[in-house]
Amino acid sequence: MATAVFHQAVGTLQSYQLHYNSGVHDSGNFLVRLVPKPFIVDIRPSKRGNYGSGERKFRVIQASTPLTSVSDPVSSPSNSNTRESRKKSNEAALILIRHGESLWNEKNLFTGCVDVPLTKKGVGEAIEAGKRISNIPVDVIYTSSLIRAQMTAMLAMTQHRRRKVPIIMHNESEQARTWSQIYSKETMKQSIPVIAAWQLNERMYGELQGLNKQETADRFGKEKVHEWRRSYDIPPPNGESLEMCAQRAVAYFKESIEPQLLSGKNVMIAAHGNSLRSIIMYLDQLTSQEVISLELSTGIPMLYIFKEGKFIRRGSPVGPMEAGVYAYTRGLALYRQKLDEMLH
């Protein structure tokens, strides 16, 4: 059943470019893997950690496609000719945000891959998250295919001082690509591409989805439900384990997001508790035992710096005017200084 959910549709990846009246604007290339949901997934061996020895049930079909980048004079990376020189010269910010409270969080229901929106509280959490990162550069945004993560990303960016507009990239059909084209070069410069990927979705909870958590514990026993929710490699009935979620989420991160960081792009990911735990497991090289005890609060951004091929955790920005957040690196401090000069 779980496999069927992810295999229900397979399409053909096609390159996606935004055209202007004067032709194709190419101010830089995002290394984008636009994978229409839901796609079959190919898991490649991890170079940074072991994600379990269980049977791999997915494989990821992805392609590197050109996407017109949004050049930003404030945060444009330096030009480098080789991968190695980029690794040595560029510093990039990586922001991770777990979506705000959803309607099913509020009702204490297992949500998983069911697509439900944010509550009023969740909307407030997303806006507050945006305030906390309002001085940190963002060049490209990744979200899951679920509305609660997308709402969180979009609402957060309404608070960013750069005032760029996040725009969801539509690649589900030729018509969608054609109808969503932007024909103004200037408008594109003031936009941020938002790429939705099902691989970043929450863990699929199988037959628990829609059930009340307390009633489920009463029915199956607290120990069994705790095992389903907190073990690394034991899935709920017809659902995914954290290990299975990590396989698809980390594979997508390595294939699609890490190249952006390597090229100097600043990335924000708005996703879910389990998909983000999986990515943090990779970034921090956690063991399967360490990751199961990792808790992420809703609407609280986490900041990493990617430099010289390494991820350095910088914690969570405390507030929009917290000086310490921007003193973490010289690059972030300079970015904020340029924003101040531009906006005053």
Residues annotated as catalytic are 99, 202
User: What φ, ψ does residue 34 adopt, rounded to 5°?
Assistant: -90, 105
Taken in order 25, 18, 251, 305, the sign of the CA dihedral is positive
Q: Residue for token digits 């340029």?
A: 338
β-bridge pairing 267-271 and 91-98: parallel
Q: 36: helix, coil or strand?
A: coil
Distance CA 78, CA 27 (A): 13
Taking the mean position of all CA atoms in its chain, how far away is CA 335? 22
Q: In 61-184, where does DSSP find H-type helix?
A: 83-89, 103-106, 120-132, 147-157, 174-179
Q: What does the DSSP assignment read for 162-214?
A: T-PEEEE---SSHHHHHHT----HHHHHTEEEEEE-GGGSPPP-GGGTTSBHH
Q: For residues 241 and 278, is the Cβ–Cβ distance under 8 A?
A: no
Closest CA to 93 of 217, 244, 265: 265
